[in-house]
Amino acid sequence: MAEWTAGYLGGQGRRQRFLAVLLCLAVLAAALGLAAGPHGIALPRTGLEIEMFWALRLPRVVLALLIGSGLAMAGGLSQAVLRNPLASPFTLGIASGGAFGAALAIILGVLSPWAMAASAFAFALSTSLLVLGLARLKNSRPETLILGGVAVMFLYSAATSLLQYVGTEHQTQAIVFWSFGNLGRAGWNEIAVAAAMILLPAPLLLKLAWDLNALAGGDEAAASLGVDVGRVRLLGIVLSSLMAAGAIAFAGVIGFIGLVAPHAARMCVGSDHRYLFPASALFGAALVTAADAAARTIWAPQVIPIGIVTSFLGVPFFFWLLLRSSREYW
């Protein structure tokens, strides 16, 4: 085998080792999450504590792992199909759609968690349907999709503001609270549904990996390499919306992960999506789980909303990566 291939394969080996390291990191974060309680890092001892552990802490950690990996993969996918490093599941208005759905449920007085999740999910997905409809009428160029997504985002934000304006003080507070993100709302049934929406599309993402690699060089180049660009782009948007909506419906808006985890992964394993998706998922899972552990212990027994902690924890980490990275811009 000649030297350049050897260099390439060596790089692949390095990436595989990095994935193993990330896996350890995610496991570590999960262990931390399981051990972290209102009394700091401590394992449950009394009967009540053990009961609470199974009923509350374990599902919480599982949900954090799921949500983190789902948002991260959705972000990586939307960056690839929109060919834009600033894209995230929120660029297409998914978060504001979800927030509006939840707000509507709150205003209408439907407070069952399932109904709220369903409403958030439906409206989150509706944004990508609007954007795809626009693409059908005009074209599916990334610029069209991003502009459409941002417009829809503003539309739903305004609608949510309107609901807050007309709602009672109590309702408004509930709406704001929902939008901070919360990992404590879901039980095992909800987790099973979220898992289906986040984990089932994952193999499809890997199947798209080579097409997405080709897309990095532009639509025309990709098309000449045999990629059905329009189909891949629409499929990518549908899948990333599904994953992000699944995450948002049960955990509220947890910002930043969808943008940052894929970039952190890219800095470590490069742009080959065969490695980028697993690495993003592990990064996202570790980050959300660790942030949640911090959220429960820093100010115990108060729990700081997860959406706030991910940003406080994630931004310094991201800056550190950005400064460390030898590339010019990331």
Q: Which residues bind other proteins (CB under 8 A)?
A: 1-5, 7-8, 11, 79, 83-85, 210-211, 213-214, 216-218, 220-221, 223-228, 266, 270-272, 274, 327-328, 330
Measured from the CB atom, the residue of 26 and 214 that comes closer to other proteins is 214
Question: What distance in Å separates the CA atoms of residue 130 and residue 17, rounded to the nearest whole number?
Answer: 41
**What's the CA gap between 308 and 190, in Å, rounded?**
23
What SS3 class is residue 67? helix
Q: Rank residues 11 and 113 by Cβ distance to other proteins and give the closer one.
A: 11
Strand partners, 41: 36
Cβ closest to other proteins, residue 62 vs residue 205: 205
Structure tokens at 298: 């820093």
Find, among 306, 313, 310, the residue nearest to 179 by Cα.
Answer: 306
End-to-end CA distance of the chain: 32
CB of 222 to other proteins, least distance (A): 9
Residues in CB range of 39: below 8 A, 6 or more apart: 300
Phi, psi of 288 (to 5 degrees): -65, -40
| In the complex, minimum distance from the CB of residue 8 to other proteins, in angstroms, rounded to a whole number | 5
Beta bridge partners of 36: 41
Cβ distance to other proteins smaller for residue 184 or 270: 270
CB closer to other proteins out of 111 and 147:
147
- Give least dist CB 243 to other proteins, A: 20
In single-letter form, the type of residue at position 157 comes to S
**Tokens 């929902």 map to which residue?**
178
Residue 15 or 296 with smaller CB distance to other proteins: 15
**Closest distance to other proteins from the beta carbon of 120 (Å):** 31
User: Based on CB atoms, which residue is closest to other proteins, 3 or 169?
Assistant: 3
**Shortest reach from residue 1's CB to other proteins, in Å:** 7
Q: Cα–Cα–Cα angle for 89, 95, 100, nearest 5°?
A: 155
DSSP letter at 56 equals: I
CB atoms within 10 A of CB 5: 9
CA-based Rg of the chain, rounded to a whole angstrom?
Answer: 20
Q: Select 51 or 228, whichever has its Cβ closest to other proteins.
A: 228
Cβ distance 1 to 260 under 8 Å? no
Cα 304 to chain centroid, rounded: 19
